[in-house]
Structure 1
């Protein structure tokens, strides 16, 4: 990294967004680096493990961000805007096809113990299958809350509903997932 890029890394998000809006590619590149893995992982999980499709949507999300930067009113809200854009793109894709999910990617083998590894693998497969069965809006709310740590209010904004509706979707998703996961408790 050059000295100028190192200085950019230390800037807060709002400053990077403002600079990127002024068409500073180095600032936008840093924003992409900060969010790339999170947005890709969200897309991958929402699209049920379709990595090529997740890569495409994540890339589309950042292309859209570059094009629409001037429309973002609050520079500090950039991350939420990215999540909303990616979520909406994924929901559009899911409306066109039957869902499948795989969460195993982020879960390494359990400390070399074959029995424990098999149990963990079976539990993750059961969770993935249970997530496949959830309606896309429920799955989106659950993933945004449980995997990505978003607040109810933020999820409501991301999926275009109320915090109360988000709580309801997450509660139903948790109940369904808890029932399926009883054997692994």
Structure 2
């Protein structure tokens, strides 16, 4: 009986890791974009993985794992935010942390500008943009995470992008792979697009 239990646990761990491994970069990107702090991002990712492992037996459809994992991350992040004061603008300390990475200086500057702009969005708007642009979730899964209507999610993404475009006017650019039109979301003013620096997608 003990041997069978150990075998079942091992198989469960293997299935979990098989699903988790390709999601680690997306989870890390989400955690960093939402916290803008290396230690907090690592804590958020670690807590998410621990909670996902604990609840893995409840997941019936393995194809739903990406959205399920990020829903856990969102829930933990919201809970953590309620417990402590929100750090507002992107700080110089975070910029120093970015300089410690191997990211090229020009890309690091773009990332700093983007994260500073993201931090100025309303919370749910920022969450929607990060889930869509950084974590690469489809709108339907973001709706499951945030609740409300699909049109509400689209509106938050569009308005978030437009606001980011306003905040990043000194560096206008178009990302052909992740533009509002290419994802079925038309900018309300017909002009706002943003570029997500490629270093974020590592």
Fold equivalence (TM over 0.5): yes
Shift of residue 175, structure 1, vs aligned partner = 1.5
* Residue 6 (structure 1) aligns with: none
Q: Does 1:108 align with 2:103?
A: yes
Alpha-carbon contact 1:145-1:151 (below 8 Å) kept: yes
* Residue 11 (structure 1) aligns with: none
* Residue 40 (structure 1) aligns with: 28
Q: 5+ unaligned residues in a row in structure 1: which ranges?
A: 1-21, 111-116
SS in structure 1 of the partner of residue 119 of structure 2? helix
Q: Does 1:184 align with 2:179?
A: no
The 2-side partners of 1:82 and 1:69 are apart by 10
Shift of residue 31, structure 1, vs aligned partner = 2.6
SS in structure 2 of the partner of residue 26 of structure 1? helix
* Residue 144 (structure 1) aligns with: 131
Q: Does 1:54 align with 2:49?
A: no
Shift of residue 173, structure 1, vs aligned partner = 1.0
SS in structure 2 of the partner of residue 133 of structure 1? coil
Q: Which has the higher helix share?
A: 1
The 2-side partners of 1:167 and 1:107 are apart by 34
The 1-side partners of 2:50 and 2:41 are apart by 14
The 2-side partners of 1:123 and 1:79 are apart by 27
Q: Does 1:29 align with 2:3?
A: no
Shift of residue 97, structure 1, vs aligned partner = 2.6
Shift of residue 124, structure 1, vs aligned partner = 3.4
Alpha-carbon contact 2:27-2:135 (below 8 Å) kept: no
Shift of residue 92, structure 1, vs aligned partner = 2.4
The 2-side partners of 1:183 and 1:107 are apart by 25
Show the 5 A alignment for 1:1-185: 22-23=8-9, 24=11, 25-48=13-36, 50-95=37-82, 96-99=84-87, 100=89, 108-109=103-104, 117=106, 121-185=108-172
- The 1:123–1:30 alpha-carbon spacing in structure 2 relative to 1, beyond 3 Å, is closer
Taking structure 1 as the reference length, what is the TM-score of the superposition? 0.72
Alignment: residue pair count: 155
- The 1:37–1:143 alpha-carbon spacing in structure 2 relative to 1, beyond 3 Å, is same
